[in-house]
Chains A and B, each alone.
Chain A
Amino acid sequence: MVKKAVPFIALAALLVFPLVVKSDYYQHLMILVLMWVVIGSAWNLIAGYTGQVSFGDAAFFGTGAYTAGLLVTKLGWSAWWGLFFGGITAVLIAMPFGWICFRLRGAYFALATLALNEIMRHIATIWEKLTYGMLGILIVQTFASKLPYYYISLALAVISLITVRLVMRSKYGYYFLSIREDQDAAESMGINTHHYKMISLVIAAALTGVAGALYMNYMGFIDPHVVFSLHDISIMAILVGIVGGVGTQYGPAVGAFIMVAVQELFRTGGYGLISKLAKASGSETIISLSEFITKAHVMGFGILVVVAILFLPNGVVGDWNKITRLVLQKKIKGG
């Protein structure tokens, strides 16, 4: 009973969040979290549920973002059309890719997605007439306030969670799971695995493309290295999935929150806390140590990847029982 209510309570909290917390900074972080919920859910559908691990979500994300940006610069439309067309172009990229590459399995498929990621980035860099290459695309944001962006992101996040939920509760969901568990068995039961993998990929690509278009609208600037980034987008998407919980409904939502928070924690050096504390202590070595930590934020992020995979392979949601057991045991021992 309580468990069922948690998503609704979370949603209610998210609805009032920007009305309570007026700080632009925290609203910005929450918008990012919600964007990652969309991408994470999409990744979770294709990788977590269907078992086809994608290392190239940035290809779809960047396609969506570039679609939104090019609609403005080339056609003079509003970038918000990108939310619709971004998803479509991402699907247009995903369809031939999936058709070719779904004959590959496991690690081969993961490599193919990685290659797609790289190819898209090179195209965006080299095809300067269309994409302006490394100059990137700059558009004027529609709203000065963060509130509209926040609610649009929230709506998209909710839509993507509902989409994944509906898909997984339908016949398709069971087909996806059967492909993940044993592709040959699924095939021998008469499931057209290629077909259903394509459906899963198309849904995932559409959602990721929409998230990309949202990014373009919100940030107002993109270039190939930002939106086709392997580390910042593709790997981050996997991390959101893994830290949250692979193959769980709300895992990506939890993962998105944790990952954005952690990334920001590393980037700002504990929200500036570390450097403040260091200055307060007055010791030279501690100050230089705090600078070291702040400078090494990407390294910290990498270490986090390593630690998360080692100790939380099924994510916070997937390993929830394990975590609670550990905490409870400590309490019992302590008490």
Chain B
Amino acid sequence: MDLFLQALVSGLLRGGLYALVGIGMTLIMGVMKIINLAHGQLMMVSMYITFVCFTSLGIDPYVSLLICMPVLFLIGVIIQKYLLNPLIRVETILPENQVLMTVGIGMVLTETMRFIFTSDYKSVKTSYSNATFFLGNISFSVPLVIDLGFVTLLTWVLFWFLNKTDTGKSIRATAQDKDAAILMGVNSEKITYITFGIGSALVAAAGALLIPIYYLFPDIGGEFTRRAFVICILGGLGSTVGAIFGGITLGLAEAFGATYVAMEFEDVIGLVIFILVLLFLPGGFRRLIKI
């Protein structure tokens, strides 16, 4: 029973972070209708920024959220404005050019980081990295609990932004029906890069929150890109609420898989879920909750 509860707790805590990764991706998916395969790589960049802030400037990872979120927002805006938007105007046979472009961007990001920091494993060891507290027999990792707080806060801010502000409403309108939004006077091009910026900033936050308990090397991005698209498919492409459920489900599945099946199957589980969802629940949780 303790083992079960332990897996449940660590899965939930991790799932919160995954949700943050997934929300960013699903926002981009919803508005631009493209899959951002550079998503994990953006997270990796943010992790390196946090790493540099910590090792050379001594800034705590949680404080460096204030640095890496704006930086990644900017990177996201630049990517969307100068690399992805021009592709819309180009006439091609295949509509997947933008997706392929994100793969290229991901490669450039990974290699740039490998060039600067080499392929060595790095980690940020803060005083609280290994801190835990116990409730009964269940251990809670302190950084993960703090992370969950941040995740809740950021998600709340995001929902407030999407529901209450003009820009947020424009984003939702563009996601629902781009042509209608343009007719209503929404500057859809501006919306696309703001959305990409927000998506990048969210994944940047996930990176900075994760770094105290994780390790870091340039190829880590691919792992999280994969998780992000599994979450998106799970939640239903374009659904932010779905992404939260998707993230938590993936976190739980990984935790239980690692506990009850075998450690090395952790990565495979996400992919198996992916195929199962495509088979039995195409459209993801979105179909169940209608959000």
Contacts and interface: CB of A to CB of B under 8 A. Distances in A.
A309 B104 contact: yes
Interface of B is mostly: helix
B40 to A, nearest CB: 12
B93 A122 contact: no
B78 to A, nearest CB: 13
Interface stretch (A163-171, A207-215, A268-276, A297-305): A297-305
Contacts of B100: 235, 238, 242, 305, 309
Interface in B227-241: 229-230, 233, 237
Nearest to B108: A302
B93 A306 contact: no
A296 B287 CA distance: 45
A54 B229 CA distance: 16
Nearest to B83: A306
B33 A119 contact: no
Given A238-B100, A246-B92, A301 B107 contact: yes
A107 B107 contact: no
A310 B87 contact: yes
Contacts of B37: 114
Interface string B93-110: 111110111011111101
A126 B226 contact: no
Interface in B205-241: 222, 226, 229-230, 233, 237
A107 B36 CA distance: 11
A263 to B, nearest CB: 13
Contacts of B230: 115
Interface in A290-335: 295-296, 298-299, 301-303, 305-306, 309-310, 313-314, 318
B275 interface: yes
Interface of B: 33-35, 37, 83, 86-87, 90-97, 99-101, 103-108, 110-112, 114-115, 222, 226, 229-230, 233, 237, 264-265, 267-268, 271-272, 274-275, 278-279, 282
Interface size class of A (residues with CB under 8 A): 35 or more
A313 B90 contact: yes
A314 B92 CA distance: 6
Interface stretch (A13-21, A70-78, A96-104, A195-203): A96-104
Given A180-B93, A313-B90, A103 B282 contact: yes
Contacts of B106: 302
A246 B111 contact: no
B83 A310 contact: yes
A104 B282 contact: yes
7 contacts: A51-B93, A55-B99, A246-B93, A305-B107, A309-B104, A310-B90, A313-B90
Nearest to B230: A115
A280 B275 CA distance: 57
B107 A302 contact: yes
B277 to A, nearest CB: 11
Nearest to A242: B100
Nearest to A314: B92
Given A238-B100, A306-B108, 10 more contacts: A53-B96, A100-B275, A104-B282, A106-B96, A107-B96, A111-B229, A301-B107, A302-B110, A306-B101, A309-B101
A299 B101 contact: no
Nearest to A231: B107
A118 B273 CA distance: 13
A301 B92 CA distance: 22
A216 interface: no
A305 B101 CA distance: 7
A157 interface: no
A313 B229 contact: no
Contacts of A104: 278, 282
A112 interface: yes
Given A104-B282, A107-B35, A48 B94 contact: yes
Contacts of B90: 310, 313
A101 B278 contact: yes
A313 B35 contact: no
A110 B93 contact: no
A108 interface: yes
Contact of B33 (A107, A302, A314): A107
Contacts of A303: 104, 108
Given A47-B94, A119-B271, A305 B111 contact: no
A247 interface: yes
A302 B111 contact: yes
A114 to B, nearest CB: 8
A33 interface: no
Contacts of A230: 222
Nearest to B112: A299
A115 B105 CA distance: 20
Contact of A313 (B83, B97, B105, B278): B97
Question: Can you list the 8 inter-chain pairs with the closest CB atoms, starting with the nearest?
Answer: A305-B104, A302-B107, A299-B111, A302-B108, A313-B92, A306-B104, A53-B96, A298-B111
B107 A108 contact: no
Interface string A105-130: 01110111011001100110010000
B226 A118 contact: yes
Nearest to A133: B264
A107 B30 CA distance: 12
